[in-house]
Structure 1
């Protein structure tokens, strides 16, 4: 009688691997990603920033489900604050809202926030280098980019970001964070947070082959682009798992 045990074992192994892969994809797609766009009363900027910085640091340290809280303020208009938020899933987000550190921030800044807009988003590209954790904040070169993409080119833009920019960015030591997200309500609206080790790293990035290719190919896809110089309030994130995008 023929022994098919080795074939059976291989089938079981392949099925198990397939299920594990599917689970990993499901876990990733379940992430809650959004932008918080905040306008702060200029009379309370310093106090507000301290509240936000304390809340970000506590959330990253104490909550496994909080993946990123990148808080930045515009240099020319420091009352305009943008927060890139990533949670493992919606339940982790709900748990976050009930924590003492979030409630302290929420109640403490209630009268300081003039406007709050929460945008549900879909990630296009995310990379975070380990050097971010030890990079001196005063050396960082950070930009917030707002784009409007041609509605017919959204899928092409996403493919370009993944196939051209991501592999190139992974090889650039001076690129510490690149986070691109699209609004779920208006998918043509894209926001990108760029964090470089310093201005020299940014200038070097502009001359890389992958950026030049991206710039050339994306020109027809982008209807408008605004670059905003920003400064960090707090750049909180968990170390990115190797191989995760």
Structure 2
């Protein structure tokens, strides 16, 4: 009986896979230290790329506020994340960046949707990123997830490089979307597409607040297709 139970648990784990670990940070550099933070981030990310369990890292800065940075990371699982944070290169980044940060926020997020093309270094180099913060109306969570999965997949099929959606674990009605486009012109083109118009119309009754802004890629990599 015990053997059968163990086999069922093992097969279930194999079928559903381990949960991907996502970490998401907002970093605000102190005045005159944004260049140093870029250098520290670049060194850490280049070293992280060789870690087997580190799937993708996106290090981006706000176009309207260059000292404001975001770091979005994907790991195979919690074990891979802990291995990354115990590495010497991460410890160096954490220690040295702490001295030049005005603030640091860690967001505990749940991945709700993720779609992408192959995010090659060439595609990411000049890519245009956007972050959208959303507050959903009460009891809109499940319906909104269904909507974004439908339209995000189509947007990637139609030309968007990547679309990610996360809800905050502490406040599930708050969502963060991260979008990647070839360039800013591609974003403007998509914004006027029939797919986007249909998406905007269908989501309209579910959202209380909406705020989006553009970001510049500093250094990013992805070893997987989402």
Counterpart in the other structure of 1:185: 170
On the 8 A contact 1:128/1:239 being kept in 2, the answer is no
Aligned residues: 219
Question: Which of 224, 235, 239 lines up with 2:209 in the alignment?
Answer: 224
On the 8 A contact 1:132/1:176 being kept in 2, the answer is no
- Secondary structure of the 2:90 match is helix
On the 8 A contact 2:156/2:163 being kept in 1, the answer is no
Question: Which of 51, 54, 74 lines up with 2:40 in the alignment?
Answer: 51
Summarize the Cα distance change of 1:83–1:136 in structure 2 as closer, same or farther, 3 Å threshold: closer
> What is the distance in 1 between the residues matched to 2:13 and 2:54?
22
**Runs ≥4 in structure 1, deviation > 3 angstroms?**
19-22
The 5 A counterparts of 1:1-245 are 23-27=14-18, 30-60=19-49, 62-135=50-123, 137-138=125-126, 140-162=127-149, 164-173=150-159, 175-240=160-225
For normalisation by structure 1, the TM-score amounts to 0.81
- Secondary structure of the 1:42 match is coil
> What is the distance in 1 between the residues matched to 2:137 and 2:148?
15
> What is the distance in 2 between the residues matched to 1:21 and 1:132?
33
Summarize the Cα distance change of 1:77–1:68 in structure 2 as closer, same or farther, 3 Å threshold: same
Task: Give the RMSD, CA atoms, in angstroms.
Answer: 2.2
> What is the distance in 2 between the residues matched to 1:187 and 1:115?
24
Q: Whose Rg is larger? A: 1
- Specify every segment of 5 or more residues in structure 2 that has no aligned partner in the other structure, as ranges: 1-6
The offset of 1:182, in angstroms, is 0.9
Deviates more, 1:148-157 or 1:196-205: 196-205
The offset of 1:91, in angstroms, is 1.5
- Secondary structure of the 2:171 match is coil
Counterpart in the other structure of 1:8: none
Deviates more, 1:145-154 or 1:199-208: 199-208
The offset of 1:38, in angstroms, is 1.4
- Specify every segment of 5 or more residues in structure 1 that has no aligned partner in the other structure, as ranges: 1-15
The offset of 1:199, in angstroms, is 2.5
On the 8 A contact 1:69/1:235 being kept in 2, the answer is yes
For normalisation by structure 2, the TM-score amounts to 0.88
- Secondary structure of the 1:130 match is coil
Summarize the Cα distance change of 1:80–1:207 in structure 2 as closer, same or farther, 3 Å threshold: same
